[in-house]
């Protein structure tokens, strides 16, 4: 089944994928629909018996089998405790399947829409659900998956971007602002230490499906050990006072099961900066994937880096006034 190709994902022809899914014991009816995903490749595959399934082909060499299986085991652990998580389907005693160099997993199809963050009922329910998740996230600490390192992650990503990626016209300004950010974040976090637990890791509205009056969480691909705030801050939006209100509503739900981690609000701006800088590094490292240049054509423009410098300068100022 293996042939020479310019990029590993080019091997994923329809026949290749359907054969792989059939071999794993999920007999397809030939229907295949690509879904929106860049880090991995995700498809809806029709089944001869029953509803279609969702198949995720993992990006080769990003995670080891042990790391993927540990995330799967945690997803199944949450589902067993009635947490609304779309966990992988097990077949023949495993949830991870292989075809040549590809690892893939199969999930039930789940419908729904994104939660409305302007809806206090949705926010409060999200707070309750995350507290239940975080209770379980303390029970089975990851052994092989990463641990969040805010300062190291910002330093590594910003150094890579400054040296190899940022437009030359803005490289000096980018180096200056990221250096100031690192200095300020190190000062803010120097005397803080927070408990770690297994978090979703990428808990934005695109990974939450609202159905049957509650959220359903999908795609734990970035799940890691981190403070609880890593799952909370991405549910905040708008101006400073709006975010303060959203925090209070989330806390009202969260307090039902766990005390809300108010002391961790000092992490919100550093986590936001980590995400901004890491996102650019991720795009740069994935640029050899043919799916990326057409989807992100602005990434190589000079104007983009000018805008990023301005954004980082604004975020640096926001470090002075944490929520």
26: left (phi over 0), alpha (psi -120 to 50) or beta: beta
Which range (5-14, 19-28, 43-52, 192-201) has the least confidence?
5-14
pLDDT of 323 reads 72
- How large is the average pLDDT for residues 167-188? 97
Tokens for 25, please give them.
Answer: 């014991």
The string of pLDDT tens digits covering residues 202-224 is 999 999 999 988 999 999 999 99
Task: Label each residue of the chain as H, E or C.
Answer: CCCCCCCHHHHCCHHHHHHHHHHCCCCEEEEEEECCCCCCEEEEEEECCCCCEEEEECCCCCCCHHHHHHHHHHHHHHHHCCCCECCECCECCECCEEECCEEEEEEECCCCECCCCCCHHHHHHHHHHHHHHHHHHCCCCCCCCCECCHHHHHHHHHHHHHHHCCCCCCHHHHHHHHHHHHHHHHHHHCCCCCCCEEECCCCCHHHEEEECCEEEECCCCCCEEECHHHHCHHHCCCCHHHHHHHHHHHHHHHCCCCCCCHHHHHHHHHHHHHHHHHHHHHHHHCCCCCCHHHHCHHHHCHHHHHHHHHHHHHHHHHCCCCC
The string of pLDDT tens digits covering residues 248-269 is 999 999 999 999 999 999 999 9
Strand 97-99 to 197-199 pairing: unpaired
CATH number for 8-108: choose from 2.40.110.10, 3.30.200.70, 3.30.470.30, 3.30.70.141: 3.30.200.70
The string of pLDDT tens digits covering residues 34-48 is 999 999 999 999 999
* Domain ranges (residues) in the chain: 8-108, 120-318
The pLDDT-based confidence of 141 (bands split at 50, 70, 90) is very high
Q: Phi then psi for 149, rounded to 5 degrees? A: -130, 90
Q: Is the pLDDT of residue 4 over 50?
A: no
The string of pLDDT tens digits covering residues 282-300 is 999 999 999 999 999 999 9
The pLDDT-based confidence of 5 (bands split at 50, 70, 90) is very low
Identify any residues that bridge with 217 across adjacent strands, giving them in sequence order: 85, 208
- CATH topology classification for 120-318: Transferase(Phosphotransferase); domain 1 (1.10.510)
202 has catalytic annotation: yes
Return mean pLDDT, the chain: 95
Among 153, 202, 221, 231, the active-site one is: 202
Helical axes 171-189 vs 302-318, angle rounded to 10°: 20
The string of pLDDT tens digits covering residues 44-95 is 999 999 999 999 999 999 999 999 999 999 999 999 999 999 999 999 999 9
Pick the residue with more confidence: 4 or 167?
Answer: 167
pLDDT of 216 reads 96
The string of pLDDT tens digits covering residues 270-282 is 999 999 999 999 9
Among 219, 221, 231, 280, the active-site one is: 219
Report the percent of the chain where pLDDT is more than 70. 98
- How large is the average pLDDT for residues 110-131? 95
């Amino acid at each position: 089944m293996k042939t020479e190709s310019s990029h590993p994902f080019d091997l994923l022809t329809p026949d290749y994928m359907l054969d792989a899914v059939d071999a794993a014991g999920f007999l397809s009816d030939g229907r295949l629909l690509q879904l929106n995903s860049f880090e991995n490749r995700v498809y809806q595959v029709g089944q001869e018996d029953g509803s279609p399934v969702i198949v995720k082909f993992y990006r080769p060499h990003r995670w080891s089998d042990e790391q993927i299986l540990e995330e799967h085991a945690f997803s199944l652990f949450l589902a067993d405790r009635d947490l609304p998580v779309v966990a992988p389907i097990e077949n023949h005693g495993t949830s991870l399947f292989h075809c040549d160099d590809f690892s893939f997993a199969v999930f039930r199809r789940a419908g729904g829409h994104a939660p409305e963050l302007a809806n206090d009922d949705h926010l409060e329910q999200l707070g309750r659900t995350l507290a239940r998740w975080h209770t379980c996230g303390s029970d089975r600490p990851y052994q092989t998956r990463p641990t969040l390192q805010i300062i190291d992650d910002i330093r590594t990503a910003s150094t890579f971007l400054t040296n190899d990626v940022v437009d030359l016209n803005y490289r000096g300004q980018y180096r200056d602002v990221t250096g100031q950010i690192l200095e300020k974040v190190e000062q803010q976090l120097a005397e803080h230490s927070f408990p770690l637990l297994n978090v979703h890791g990428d808990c934005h509205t695109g990974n939450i499906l609202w159905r049957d009056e509650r959220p359903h969480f999908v795609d734990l691909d970035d799940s890691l050990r981190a403070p609880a705030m890593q799952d909370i801050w991405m549910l905040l939006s708008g101006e400073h006072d709006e975010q303060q209100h959203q925090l209070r509503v989330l806390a009202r739900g969260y307090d039902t099961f766990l005390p809300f981690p108010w002391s961790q609000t000092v992490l919100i701006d550093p986590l936001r900066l980590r995400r901004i800088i890491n996102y650019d590094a991720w795009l740069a490292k994935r640029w050899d994937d043919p799916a990326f240049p057409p989807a992100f054509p602005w990434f190589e423009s000079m104007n983009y880096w000018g805008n990023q410098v301005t954004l980082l300068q604004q975020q640096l100022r926001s470090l002075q006034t944490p929520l």
